[in-house]
Amino acid sequence: MDLSDLIPTFNTLRSILDITLVFIIVYVVLKLLRGTRAVPTIVGMVILALVYWFALSQDLATLEFVLRYAVAFIGIAIIVLFQSEIRQALIYFANRLRFPILKKQRAQFGGSVYDEIVLAVTTLSSTKTGALIVIERKIGLRNFVDAGVQLDARISYDLLVSIFHPETPLHDGAVIVQNERLAAASVFLPLTKNPEVSRELGTRHRAAIGITEGSDAISLVVSEETGLITYVEGGDVRRNLDPTTLRKLLLEAMEIPLVEPRRGKNFAAEATEIPD
């Protein structure tokens, strides 16, 4: 068989691979953009492109001149307008690739550390004490840690409940968990700019959503008005959770095997037994 007979096959396979990769990238991008503020903006850009094509085809010199120079700045406009969406897309791809260099050592203490968090959140919920706990994963939150009150303390139920007590100076803001330790308290986070977020959600919930949109962190929120527990991951909000569901979601997100909690199965019952 002559080598030239293999070239068309090679080119065909390469073309199929090329088209497949483009299809996957376009599909993933559209999936990420679905339901975000980027969709109507992209529709506007498509309409602008169609108007530009119309101006070229009909020889409308003035309109074509204006649109040609406007198109030159579209790249900058996309970066400015969609910086949060672009960052979220890069985080999405990085999490799927899972490079070994990005992996962190976690779960030194198994699920016991997160059992302490769940028990503290349950107690705060029962007393309607507002709280916001952010748990770092692969993407570092050092810039937020440095801006807060640095603790570097072992995670415990008593410390978490004490921090969020309304009479303490550290209760306002978020607590950041880093490498299974309390890295900082009284941390102020960026609020989400997503216009589709419910008006029922206050500043604490919007901050919890905002930090998860710009990183792969997890946020746990306790509402001081209703006592409801909220879990936020990747901008996705799950409200009114019971302790068992919260623990399951938390351990799955941190890639820890789901086993029976050290303090017992019923977090709510134990929380109510804690003396004042």
For the cut 60, the answer to whether the pLDDT of residue 106 exceeds it is no
| pTM reported for the whole predicted model | 0.63
Question: What's the whole-number average pLDDT of the chain?
Answer: 77
Alpha helices in 109-242 (DSSP H): 112-126, 142-147, 157-163, 203-213
Mean pLDDT of 203-216: 88
Flag whether pLDDT at 185 surpasses 90: yes
> Count of residues for the chain?
276
Angle at 157 between CA 151 and CA 160, to 5 degrees: 45
Q: How far apart are CA 117 and CA 176, in angstroms?
A: 12
Structure confidence by residue, pLDDT tens digits, 112-168: 888 999 999 999 999 999 999 999 988 888 888 888 899 989 999 999 999 999 888
- Cα 151 from Cα 154, distance rounded (Å): 9
Nearest to 115, CA basis, from 244, 276, 273: 244
